[in-house]
Structure 1
Amino acid sequence: MTESEFLKYAASGETILAGSKAHKDMHRMSQNALRLTSKLNGSYHTPDEIRDIMSDLTGKTLDSGFGMFPPFYTDCGKNITIGKNTFINMGCTFQDWGGITIGDECLIGHNCTICTVNHDKNPSSRENMTCRPVTIGNRVWIGANVTILPGVTIGDGAIIGAGAVVTKDISPETTVAGIPAKEINRTNR
């Protein structure tokens, strides 16, 4: 299975069976992400060098306004899309097999985790996985130590309070906080 075929398969929501060819391809494709994140995290890089490494990792040219403070971790990279003038702070982990889309002018705080993969609930098939995309709108501020779970969409202008666990969609211009994240304010203008 080619990389593009696998990414399309993962995005379809089909189950990835443990030990299957698709599962083995997933692990094979992870090697490029491991190589590039090791390069990114292993020494100092200028902002332009960080942007170049992230462009290689995602397979997409990033906007000149993109910023990041490494370290950064991902198990794929090719299923991350980042908008203009977005900043990602230190220690973030993006599990992007299902696809992560981040809009323009977003701020992502320290140690955030974005998950697009879930394991089967049945203990006898727990190694099987399904993927669901995460979409983050424009001008979203995600506080430190936030976890976003598979299938979530966060609307434009939303604020996610530090330490929140986002388990469901967040409306535009809404502030949420807590575990699980709940609305605490509306109209963030």
Structure 2
Amino acid sequence: MCKDLIEKINERDLILYDDPIFSDINKVLEKTLKLTSKLNLGYKKPEEIREILKEITGREISNSVQVLTPFNTDFGANIKIGEGVFINKGCMIVDLGGVEIEDNVLIGPSVNLLSVNHPTDIKNRRGVILKKVRIKKNAWIGASVTVCPGVTIGENSIIGAGSVVTKDVKDNSVYAGVPARFIKNI
């Protein structure tokens, strides 16, 4: 069911609140809530963390991936994590719209990766706008960064601590601030 559901979700840009697909989404949300509670309860060895993440995402998690808890996600099944990724404590991934973390990415503590927004129209505000987030190879996301829906962080780039990234980041560059802006090339 989950692969078919993700395909249906990934074909859309918007899901309205009364759409019947939310019934299936909510089933995955409930499963993920149970698994993230299990993940974040007490100490877990790295291999235990990866095994629970495999259950959450429905994908293999490489032995080269290190995730420190607490770690949270709402949907979970639309996250892709590459090789050699490090995710520090307190990361929150809102992934209904899709979040892809490529190889050798470093994610600092308390980072938020958000692939969902809401319509501004009051009557449809409970719906969700879906926009994939992509963190390309070797990127480094500093502490307490928020990456907004639809943003791609370029290969080898660095995002300064506390930034809010609202637009795509070029490869091989440093961005920082609120909203994040170009600082320099690497």
TM-score normalized by structure 1? 0.95
Q: Report how far residue 67 of structure 1 moved.
A: 0.3
Which residue of 2 is the match for residue 63 of structure 1?
62
Match status 1:150 vs 2:149: yes
Which residue of 2 is the match for residue 137 of structure 1?
136
CA distance in 2, matches of 1:139, 1:104: 6
Q: Which aligned segments of 4 or more residues in structure 1 are displaced greater than 4 angstroms?
A: none
Match status 1:19 vs 2:51: no
Task: Confirm or deny: 8 A CA contact 1:135 1:153 kept in the other structure.
Answer: yes
Which residue of 2 is the match for residue 126 of structure 1?
125
Q: Report how far residue 129 of structure 1 moved.
A: 1.1
State the percentage of identical aligned residues. 39
- Does the residue aligned with 1:175 lie in a helix, a strand or coil? strand
What runs of 5+ residues in structure 1 fail to find an aligned partner?
none
**Which shows bigger deviation, 115-124 or 18-27?**
18-27
Task: Confirm or deny: 8 A CA contact 2:75 2:94 kept in the other structure.
Answer: yes
Aligned length: 186
Match status 1:36 vs 2:27: no
Q: Report how far residue 76 of structure 1 moved.
A: 1.2
CA distance in 1, matches of 2:106, 2:77: 21
What runs of 5+ residues in structure 2 fail to find an aligned partner?
none
Task: Confirm or deny: 8 A CA contact 1:164 1:180 kept in the other structure.
Answer: yes
Which residue of 2 is the match for residue 48 of structure 1?
47
CA distance in 2, matches of 1:117, 1:156: 23
Task: Confirm or deny: 8 A CA contact 1:115 1:148 kept in the other structure.
Answer: yes
CA distance in 2, matches of 1:25, 1:120: 21
Q: Report how far residue 77 of structure 1 moved.
A: 1.1
Which residue of 2 is the match for residue 88 of structure 1?
87
Q: Report how far residue 53 of structure 1 moved.
A: 1.0
Which residue of 2 is the match for residue 77 of structure 1?
76
Match status 1:176 vs 2:175: yes
Question: CA-atom RMSD, angstroms?
Answer: 1.1
The amino acid across from 1:108 in the alignment is: I
Which residue of 1 is the match for residue 112 of structure 2?
113
